[in-house]
Amino acid sequence: MNSVRNILSDLEELSRLNFDTYGKDFLLNYEKSDDDIKAVILCATILRTLFRNNISTRVFDTGLAISQFKDKSTRTRFSFASAANLLGLTHIEFDESKTQVAHGETIRETSNMISFLAEVIGIRDDMFIGKGHTYMLEVGKALDEGFQTGVLNIRPPIINLQCDIDHPTQTLSDLMYIRSKCNYELDNLAGKKIAVSWAYSPSYGKPLSVPQGLITLLTRFGMDVVLAYPEGYDLLPETIEIAKKNAEKSKGSFKIVHSMEEAFKDADFVYPKSWAPFEVMKKRTELYEKNDQKALNELEKECLQINKKYINWTCDEKKMKLTKNGNAWYMHCLPADISGVNCENGEVSAEIFEKYRIETYFEARYKPYVIASMILLARVRDPISILDHLYRKNNRRIGIIF
Amino acid sequence: MNSVRNILSDLEELSRLNFDTYGKDFLLNYEKSDDDIKAVILCATILRTLFRNNISTRVFDTGLAISQFKDKSTRTRFSFASAANLLGLTHIEFDESKTQVAHGETIRETSNMISFLAEVIGIRDDMFIGKGHTYMLEVGKALDEGFQTGVLNIRPPIINLQCDIDHPTQTLSDLMYIRSKCNYELDNLAGKKIAVSWAYSPSYGKPLSVPQGLITLLTRFGMDVVLAYPEGYDLLPETIEIAKKNAEKSKGSFKIVHSMEEAFKDADFVYPKSWAPFEVMKKRTELYEKNDQKALNELEKECLQINKKYINWTCDEKKMKLTKNGNAWYMHCLPADISGVNCENGEVSAEIFEKYRIETYFEARYKPYVIASMILLARVRDPISILDHLYRKNNRRIGIIF
Amino acid sequence: MNSVRNILSDLEELSRLNFDTYGKDFLLNYEKSDDDIKAVILCATILRTLFRNNISTRVFDTGLAISQFKDKSTRTRFSFASAANLLGLTHIEFDESKTQVAHGETIRETSNMISFLAEVIGIRDDMFIGKGHTYMLEVGKALDEGFQTGVLNIRPPIINLQCDIDHPTQTLSDLMYIRSKCNYELDNLAGKKIAVSWAYSPSYGKPLSVPQGLITLLTRFGMDVVLAYPEGYDLLPETIEIAKKNAEKSKGSFKIVHSMEEAFKDADFVYPKSWAPFEVMKKRTELYEKNDQKALNELEKECLQINKKYINWTCDEKKMKLTKNGNAWYMHCLPADISGVNCENGEVSAEIFEKYRIETYFEARYKPYVIASMILLARVRDPISILDHLYRKNNRRIGIIF
């Protein structure tokens, strides 16, 4: 087991960090310190190593991990359930309020009613600009009140499983993947170029959280982050500001261009992905609140029409040739819209996708460990000694008989 | 940990009781002895203390806790799932027979088919008068047969999660809350007055199980129970008879009045809650069986019309002033219909509800422990030694690594 | 505990077998060796004995057991969930692709995305001839690729929970039941006669997997297997060939007749069950693929009409009198179509079904152990030492406190 050394060195590295995650929600990466982010990555790495060596990572004897998905989800649902299981928690889904404008009293009351024995709450609410993050804050406030008044024994931390602003469990998995291509050292990311590029998709209304999350996260590590999109497909302005500041601080760079080709040039990584323009998403939320179905349909039609103008914003062999040695790593959060496979014209050509298909699976597989790491860091006071104890005890995960 | 003394004294108190709960269903509180009821409360209290001190209460290494909800439920579903998890059981929902008139063969067969590894079955069937309790008895009979013939290794006890007659997990939580306001001694309930009062709601067909459960339960402890409702909003006659007998035996009192004000006068506790009149619910069941949708719609319309005559049956500041020192504890099983919040006119004013909002959360939080207590008392022969063992072993629930 | 001897002798018997189940899918019984089949039966028996003696069979500390049901299921769902729980796994359902013609890319990708921490995947896909088994192979191929490329840490074995060809968890439960009537020795099956007979049902399109599974399985053990059906109600031709070969090898016999009476004559066991003709099922699949709803409706109508000609193919007292001493064991996979109970005319008369009702429950109750056995044999390298360890450790399943 040559990964033994890695666990010990990872634990040592973790112990040198000054992270502050106990009892904290994990809503937006950009609110977290560099050391918080690094701690999540390291702890996820250690949990993964333990798992791969058939060492049990059961830290909870009982306890519930509650998830609430306001949008349909299979992958993140399984990742959350897997993470819960990895630590010994039981996953339970809360699916009452599928209405997206649940009024205040319900959120306050229900948040407490379901949380009497909750250890963690994961929420996905990514459909409407200005809504998802706000909803999570509201649930958090309700849980604060419940804990402070003694209704709840524990203040279950909230983990953002995708909101209108960020998608931290995805982008931290992406970061772990990028790190794996940089000899597993975050320090090696400095100077590497990534193109976060809009790409054509025949669908409408895809969330902005992934590109926003990528530009605000990757600029922290000295990367040269180029954001590319056709004019009009802007992201949330705040995230642009944060990306700029982060790049300045980390001595990386951040640039916006309106050409996929320019972005791809000499890139080490490319992340071509569709999203809806921020202004359209805002308008959509307004129309939705007014329940103006007719205007909503028209907005959709109009957008798909505009989209079509950028049908050549697709990741194909020709564009990949522009990247560093024609050999950049193609990334995607999946599922991708693949030309000729699940749509006529999409984000990526069938050839390129097939070439990197298994790589995109590698990218995805970190998510359960990232979520488990977030839960552990938020729920135990001394994660280092717990992880060390798990490692030394060496209880077999399969074949356990005490 | 000053709760250590409490666990030991609670265990001692439990050992002095003569309860008979092993292998028994928990369908109706009023069929249970006083000591059975006290044992549920004490065992729930001990489980809660253990939980709050991070001591694992895992008693089952494997096993299924099956729930069947014929009516939608979030809160009780989470309470049942929480209780199962607390003891180490895995919750699984059975949702096949959403039809409420499932015929005999199906109940017999299915009850056995799902129970090969079941440790407990929780059922909610509260929609139709004469149906819910009957259904639970039928499932029980099927399980009896399965166990007696050797099909089932265990006869899983049934826990009533609300039927047409009673709602024991709710009213025992209510009882634990009342006890908490009486210095945590059931003996101190004697002489305290509670107003169980009908209240106006703009909805129709609310179950009778909560008021019926309250008057039959609280009269056992020497309380002065006043049931108040507008003429016509009667409860199931048998429950009235039981309440009377219990009051006589416990030297408390039971009285029916037709004025909310009279009920509230000098009350220590008030429980204003809407319900449908027993006769209407009976008629509704008949029409439902005939599948007479037109008559059902008319019945609903008619009832809502009658309801409106009693719009002033609401719990507001003026009525609360009538209570003992103007300071009674407001109780509700939640969710409440709150005037100006989730309806125009409801069971309670926004001011009163807000004043007692956190208190209603306290009232609700006992339910997972009540259910876990019922499971434990029905499934282990010597709950006292098990609880004692859990306490002495002191396995950490979080951070457990053997 | 007189079953102690049995566990030890069962373990000894298991150790004499030359089974090859580790890391293997369990898709079709007829692809498995006799020793594989015997190992499943023995291991299931041991797990059941341990369970009945309150000895924990928790082998996994964490891990997911994923199920995917393309057809509605309560019983098999509960059996799978029970089996998972018995071993310490957490059951999670995957229900995305309810479309039965999911295209390749989705299967490949999704199979990996949900499996990062999967220990086993159970699939039911029995609706369309030529589809179910093919789908399972496709999932298996996707998992192979995931494991070989390092995406998955484990290659989760697939367990067939019913496909278009076979229903191994059902027929192995049936086999355990038959064995129980032969003094619990598989050797005693030789020379016993079973009638696997088509029976009338007012419904249409019932799968062929059970009769196909029965004739291919039971012919291995020297039984005299008689398959009876009205002309036209053929099974998949390959399964007929396999049954013939098996019978020859085992010195049993296999015969097709077109008379229920002839099949029942002197039978020790009868298994009267409806199914749709193979050719009709094939046509149905074709029409379904063309989405020709009109032709599908006509096909159904036509078939029900033909069915009616065989309304006398029912298992009643008169036919049972023809069996060995008029006393054969009636078998069914449940639920049965019972004349005068859940249909006017069905597979079995009310009298016969009632006489054997509890026996059919006995038949069904083996399924959770069969599934748990398949999981264990596929997931641990040395199941014998694990089972031996479980037995010697003697951890109580209920009342466990380390």
pLDDT 10s digits, C274-294:
999 988 888 999 998 899 999
Contact A116, B363 (CB under 8 A): no
Name chain C contacts of B149, Cβ cutoff 8 Å. Answer: 358, 361
Tell me what pLDDT residue B104 has: 53
Q: Strands A193-198, B90-93: parallel, antiparallel or unpaired by DSSP?
A: unpaired
Class level of CATH domain B3-165+367-393: alpha beta
Question: What's domain C170-364's architecture?
Answer: 3-Layer(aba) Sandwich (3.40)
Q: Is residue C96's pLDDT more than 60?
A: yes
Among B58, B75, B401, the residue to mutate for chain A (most A Cβ within 10 A)? B401
Contacts 24+ apart (CB under 8 A), A40-43: A40/A172, A40/A370, A40/A373, A40/A374, A40/A377, A41/A172, A41/A175, A41/A176, A41/A179, A41/A186, A41/A370, A41/A373, A42/A10, A42/A13, A42/A14, A42/A17, A43/A14, A43/A373, A43/A376, A43/A377, A43/A383, A43/A387
Q: Does the distance separating the beta carbons of B401 and A386 come in below 8 Å?
A: yes
- The confidence band for A102, taking pLDDT boundaries of 50, 70 and 90, is very low
Nearest CA in chain C to B60: C398
Tell me what pLDDT residue C319 has: 98
Q: Is residue A48's pLDDT more than 90?
A: yes
Contact A167, A198 (CB under 8 A): no
DSSP string computed for A295-310: HHHHHHHHHHHHHHTT
Q: Please enumerate in sequence order all residues whose Cβ is within 8 A of that of B238, keeping only pairs 6 or more positions apart, or say none.
A: none
Beta strands in B253-399 (DSSP E): 253-257, 269-273, 329-330
Amino acid, res. C276:
A
Tell me what pLDDT residue C1 has: 44
User: What is the end-to-end Cα distance of chain C in Å, rounded?
Assistant: 23
Q: Does the distance separating the beta carbons of A153 and B52 come in below 8 Å?
A: yes
* Over residues B98-111, mean pLDDT: 65
Task: Tell me whether A101 touches chain B (CB under 8 Å).
Answer: no
Query: Closest Cα to residue B384, out of B25, B13, B61?
Result: B13
Q: Is residue A342's pLDDT more than 70?
A: yes
Tell me what pLDDT residue C3 has: 61
- The confidence band for B70, taking pLDDT boundaries of 50, 70 and 90, is confident
Tell me what pLDDT residue B72 has: 74
Q: Is residue B43's pLDDT more than 50?
A: yes
Q: Does the distance separating the beta carbons of B116 and C368 come in below 8 Å?
A: yes
Identify the DSSP state of C333. Answer: -
Among A72, A86, A354, A361, the residue to mutate for chain C (most C Cβ within 10 A)? A361
B400 or A306: which leads in pLDDT: A306
Tell me what pLDDT residue A30 has: 97
Name chain C contacts of B402, Cβ cutoff 8 Å. Answer: 402
Tell me what pLDDT residue A100 has: 37
What residue spans of A17-120 are helical by DSSP H?
Answer: 34-52, 75-87, 104-113
Tell me what pLDDT residue A99 has: 40
Q: Strands A64-69, A118-124: parallel, antiparallel or unpaired by DSSP?
A: parallel
Give the burial class of B72: count Cβ atoms within 10 A of its Cβ; 0-12 exposed, 13-18 middle, 19 or more buried.
exposed
Tell me what pLDDT residue A4 has: 63
pLDDT 10s digits, C302-355:
999 999 999 999 999 999 999 999 999 999 999 999 999 999 999 999 999 999
Tell me what pLDDT residue C204 has: 83
Interface of C with A in 30-89 (CB under 8 A): 58-64, 88
Chain-centre distance for alpha carbon B37 = 12
- Is the omega angle on the peptide bond into residue B335 within 30 degrees of 0, that is, cis? yes
* Over residues B44-67, mean pLDDT: 96
CB-CB: which of C62, C116, C402 is closest to A56?
C62
Q: Strands B329-330, C64-69: parallel, antiparallel or unpaired by DSSP?
A: unpaired
Tell me what pLDDT residue B185 has: 95
Q: Do domains C3-165+367-393 and C170-364 have the same CATH topology?
A: yes
Q: How many CB atoms lie within 10 A of CB B393?
A: 11
Amino acid, res. C31:
E
pLDDT 10s digits, C116-171:
999 999 999 998 889 999 999 999 999 999 999 999 999 999 999 999 999 999 99
Tell me what pLDDT residue A78 has: 94
pLDDT 10s digits, A284-297:
999 988 999 999 99
Among B78, B180, B347, B397, the residue to mutate for chain A (most A Cβ within 10 A)? B78
Tell me what pLDDT residue A104 has: 53
- The confidence band for C67, taking pLDDT boundaries of 50, 70 and 90, is very high
Query: What distance in Å separates the CA atoms of residue A148 and residue A142, rounded to the nearest whole number?
Result: 10
Look up residue B64 and give its two tokens: 């299924």
Q: Does the distance separating the beta carbons of B78 and A114 come in below 8 Å?
A: yes
CB-CB: which of C85, C335, C357 is closest to B62?
C85
* Over residues B103-123, mean pLDDT: 89
Q: Is residue A61's pLDDT more than 80?
A: yes
- The confidence band for A355, taking pLDDT boundaries of 50, 70 and 90, is very high
Listed by start position, the domains of chain A span 3-165+367-393, 170-364
pLDDT 10s digits, A66-87:
999 887 788 889 999 999 999 9
Look up residue B204 and give its two tokens: 């129709």
* Over residues C363-388, mean pLDDT: 97
Task: Flag the least confident range among A9-18, B32-41, C126-135.
Answer: C126-135
* Over residues A214-232, mean pLDDT: 98
- The C-alpha of A235 sits at a distance from chain B's nearest C-alpha, in angstroms, of 36
Look up residue B122 and give its two tokens: 């929780």
Look up residue A290 and give its two tokens: 């007014």
Nearest CA in chain A to C400: A402
Tell me what pLDDT residue C288 has: 87
pLDDT 10s digits, C169-214:
999 999 999 999 999 999 999 999 999 999 999 988 899 999 999 9
Look up residue C239 and give its two tokens: 């399964």
Q: Is residue B311's pLDDT more than 50?
A: yes
Considering the entire predicted model, what is its pTM? 0.96
Average pLDDT over chain A reads: 94
Chain-centre distance for alpha carbon B24 = 17
Task: Tell me whether A342 touches chain C (CB under 8 Å).
Answer: yes
Tell me what pLDDT residue A72 has: 74
Among A61, A67, A89, A389, the residue to mutate for chain B (most B Cβ within 10 A)? A61
Name chain B contacts of A379, Cβ cutoff 8 Å. Answer: 398
Name chain C contacts of A368, Cβ cutoff 8 Å. Answer: 116-117
Nearest CA in chain C to B153: C52
Contact C153, A52 (CB under 8 A): yes
Contact B79, B368 (CB under 8 A): yes
Tell me what pLDDT residue B106 has: 84
Q: Is residue B102's pLDDT more than 70?
A: no
pLDDT 10s digits, A174-212:
999 999 999 999 999 999 999 999 999 998 889 999 999
Average pLDDT over chain C reads: 94
Contact A132, A163 (CB under 8 A): yes
Q: How far is CA A99 from CA A95, A107, A280, B76, in A?
A: 10, 12, 21, 21
Percent of chain A with pLDDT over 90: 87
Q: Is residue C98's pLDDT more than 50?
A: no
